[in-house]
Structure 1
Amino acid sequence: MPLPAPLTGVVPPLCTPLTPEGEVDVDSLLRLVDHLVAAGVNALFVLGTTSEAAYLTDRRRRLVVETTVAHVGGQLPVLAGAIDMTTPRVLEQVASVAEAGADAVVVISPFYTRTHPAEIARHYRLVAAASPVPVLAYDLPAAVHTELPADVVLELAADGVLAGLKDSSGDLARFREVVAGARTMPGFSVLTGSELLVDAALALGAHGAVPGFANVDPHAYVRLDRLWRAGDLQAARAEQERLCALFRIVGAGDPARMGASSAAIGAFKAALHLQGVIACPATAEPQVPLSPREVERVQRLLIEAGLL
């Protein structure tokens, strides 16, 4: 099923603000949505990796979708992740988020056990056949330990199974192959999830970007996208390089005591808290929170970037 119109531009994957007790902070979520919409983003993506979807219970996932959809009120498309280990479990997630009002679902390949490309293709065909809304594939080999082959994506796109791809592999060669193959498929959207390669992805022909870092500085990603489309490539490159420098906030967390996910999500949420967008920078258990000293490092970088 295709989207009503191809996705283009900036589609931030929202952080999920939490209370200290781990519940969804609805008021902060609404402020975050307003923060992104005011910056001029083109769509919203909830329940992705940046949303900590893997850590949220089904009840909390549903609440995030319902809250976002109701608040946006049709101004922008709302995509929702259907993240789970196997096809039957993904189908339950798809049904839930579609019923909650999502305009499309973003579906990861099966994980826990390694899968063959034929099984990945079968997964997406089964999901798309049952989904009441368009399905985008989510290529995240760092999480599922299996690459989403370019030929599989293009075959599924040609057959009308997939409406788009969110590529977070960081593999520009494979990404180029999908972009090139999709040029004859006008309804298929190819989006990069790599925050530091947006200008490069646009140069290859990407339709847009799904950068988690857009939670922190959505205006910059919107500027980058608009500059590129206006043909001001030098200014777009300068904006990307500014974002690359600011992205150093994800290194504020000490790798000796926390994983990369804790450091990145913790930095995004610390930045949003410092900017007054969310009330609490808590991350879901068992992620390790940033220390006060690490938060100070985030704060210094935000000040240098003019965001505080």
Structure 2
Amino acid sequence: MTPGRIGGVAPVLEVPFTIAGEVDEAGFARVVDHVLGTGVTAVMFPGFASEFHKLDDAERDRLTGILLERTAGREAAAIVSVPDHATAIAVRRARAAVGAGADAINLLPPHFLSPPGAQVLAHVEAVLDAVPSTPVVLQYAPAQTGTVLSPRSIRDLAGRHPNLRFVKVEAVPPGPVITALGDGDPPIPCLVGYAGVQLPDALRRGTAGVQPGCSFVELYVRIWDLWSAGDTDAALALHTRMLPYLASWMQDVELVIQAEKTISQRRGLIDHDVCRAPYRPLDAYESALVERFLDEFGDLLPPVTR
């Protein structure tokens, strides 16, 4: 497992549901296969875009199994996320994921009811200790969780735990955190999240990758490839075209989840754009924005063939 397999474009996988709100396991397998075919370097499950907070334990386990089956022997890395609040459960889940074949662990620090900072750090260290030979991506999402970790505290963690290999930065703005971690001792490479709204700044600062949703991941792969090839003007131009849509959808986490699912359904990737309740339905203006997006980028987002 090399760090380069986690960098680049490493999207979070969505979970399709039936009209009745049941998990569509065949649909999830189709999502995995489609995303793996777009040129990504890794995929992650379950994240906010996966509606992990609306899945029960059995569903998470089955979907993780499908992911690991579909990624076995592939170049793209399978990153299994551990967002569990209880330290003991997070430790068990991390070990189980690694035992089942996960290439890396994504660790979301506990945030429910605002636990004390010392307890948050202890939780992170316990999971790092539980999988010492496995790369771990620390998800730093203060806007979504309220959990604040300083770059120095993260570097201290990495100094004690060499398997803390990446930080997914979803701070607003992410750039200063990316620079502080990348220029520190030890330097820690970062993935920029938050739908890549600030991707150009992150690229200029040397981000190791971007972790968006998966419904139009081809656009992020295109930006990454253009930038990597030295065509920075074309990369920035494509992001500039995307930015009004991203800025609108990223006003609310449930809004961007619904918008992405509707895009996936319209492209033919999933059968239904159902989100589990409680969810944030699109109004008429937001639905029209999705249609404009698909019209504008139709040449780069062809229908998904089955």
Specify if TM > 0.5: yes
Deviation (angstroms), 1:127: 0.9
Partner SS, residue 163 of structure 1: strand
Spell out, residue by residue over 1:60-107, the C-alpha distance to the aligned partner (whole angstroms, 9 max, x if none): 111111111111222111001101223123123223433443211111
Match of 2:56 in 1: 57
Task: Give the letter for the 1:147 counterpart.
Answer: V
| Structure 2: distance between partners of 1:97 and 1:262 | 27
Q: Aligned to 1:265, which of 252, 257, 261?
A: 257
Tell me whether 1:289 sits opposite 2:290 in the alignment: no
- Identity fraction in percent: 28
Query: Is the 8 Å Cα contact of residues 80 and 97 (structure 2) preserved in structure 1?
Result: yes
Deviation (angstroms), 1:291: 5.3
Deviation (angstroms), 1:143: 2.9
Query: Is the 8 Å Cα contact of residues 168 and 192 (structure 1) preserved in structure 2?
Result: yes
Q: Aligned to 1:4, which of 2, 5, 8?
A: 2
- What is the number of equivalent residue pairs in this alignment? 294
Query: Is the 8 Å Cα contact of residues 94 and 105 (structure 1) preserved in structure 2?
Result: yes
Deviation (angstroms), 1:10: 0.2
Task: Give the letter for the 1:301 counterpart.
Answer: F
| Structure 1: distance between partners of 2:276 and 2:100 | 23
The runs of 5 or more residues in structure 1 that have no matched partner are: 252-258
| Structure 2: distance between partners of 1:25 and 1:100 | 22
| Structure 2: distance between partners of 1:248 and 1:216 | 16
Match of 1:94 in 2: 94
Query: Is the 8 Å Cα contact of residues 271 and 302 (structure 1) preserved in structure 2?
Result: yes
Distance 1:245 1:293, change over 3 A: closer
Deviation (angstroms), 1:161: 4.5
Spell out, residue by residue over 1:208-244, the C-alpha distance to the aligned partner (whole angstroms, 9 max, x if none): 11112xx222221111111112222111111211221
Task: Give the letter for the 1:267 counterpart.
Answer: A
Query: Is the 8 Å Cα contact of residues 266 and 283 (structure 1) preserved in structure 2?
Result: yes
Task: Give the letter for the 2:273 counterpart.
Answer: P
Distance 1:176 1:55, change over 3 A: same
Query: Is the 8 Å Cα contact of residues 95 and 131 (structure 1) preserved in structure 2?
Result: yes
| Structure 1: distance between partners of 2:61 and 2:48 | 16
Match of 2:152 in 1: 151
Deviation (angstroms), 1:5: 3.0
Match of 1:169 in 2: 171
| Structure 2: distance between partners of 1:241 and 1:235 | 10
Match of 1:193 in 2: 193
Partner SS, residue 273 of structure 2: coil
The range that moved more, 10-19 or 167-176, is 167-176
Q: Give 1:101-250 correspondences, 5 Å limit.
A: 101-131=101-131, 133-159=134-160, 160-171=162-173, 172-181=175-184, 185=187, 188-194=188-194, 195-212=196-213, 215-247=214-246, 250=249
Query: Is the 8 Å Cα contact of residues 8 and 42 (structure 1) preserved in structure 2?
Result: yes
| Structure 2: distance between partners of 1:217 and 1:102 | 24
| Structure 2: distance between partners of 1:241 and 1:297 | 16
Query: Is the 8 Å Cα contact of residues 282 and 289 (structure 1) preserved in structure 2?
Result: no
Match of 2:296 in 1: 304
Query: Is the 8 Å Cα contact of residues 14 and 46 (structure 1) preserved in structure 2?
Result: yes
Query: Is the 8 Å Cα contact of residues 65 and 102 (structure 1) preserved in structure 2?
Result: no
| Structure 2: distance between partners of 1:69 and 1:277 | 20
| Structure 1: distance between partners of 2:245 and 2:99 | 38
| Structure 2: distance between partners of 1:157 and 1:99 | 23
Partner SS, residue 49 of structure 2: coil
| Structure 2: distance between partners of 1:93 and 1:54 | 15
The range that moved more, 45-54 or 142-151, is 142-151
Distance 1:293 1:234, change over 3 A: closer
TM-score for the superposition, normalised by structure 1: 0.87
Partner SS, residue 18 of structure 1: coil
Query: Is the 8 Å Cα contact of residues 8 and 224 (structure 2) preserved in structure 1?
Result: yes
Match of 2:13 in 1: 14
Query: Is the 8 Å Cα contact of residues 124 and 161 (structure 1) preserved in structure 2?
Result: no
Structure 1 moving runs of 4+ over 6 Å:
none
Query: Is the 8 Å Cα contact of residues 3 and 165 (structure 2) preserved in structure 1?
Result: no
Deviation (angstroms), 1:180: 1.5
Deviation (angstroms), 1:16: 1.1
Task: Give the letter for the 1:78 counterpart.
Answer: A
Query: Is the 8 Å Cα contact of residues 17 and 29 (structure 1) preserved in structure 2?
Result: yes
| Structure 2: distance between partners of 1:69 and 1:144 | 28
Q: How well do the aligned residues superpose, as a CA RMSD in angstroms?
A: 2.2
Query: Is the 8 Å Cα contact of residues 157 and 164 (structure 1) preserved in structure 2?
Result: no
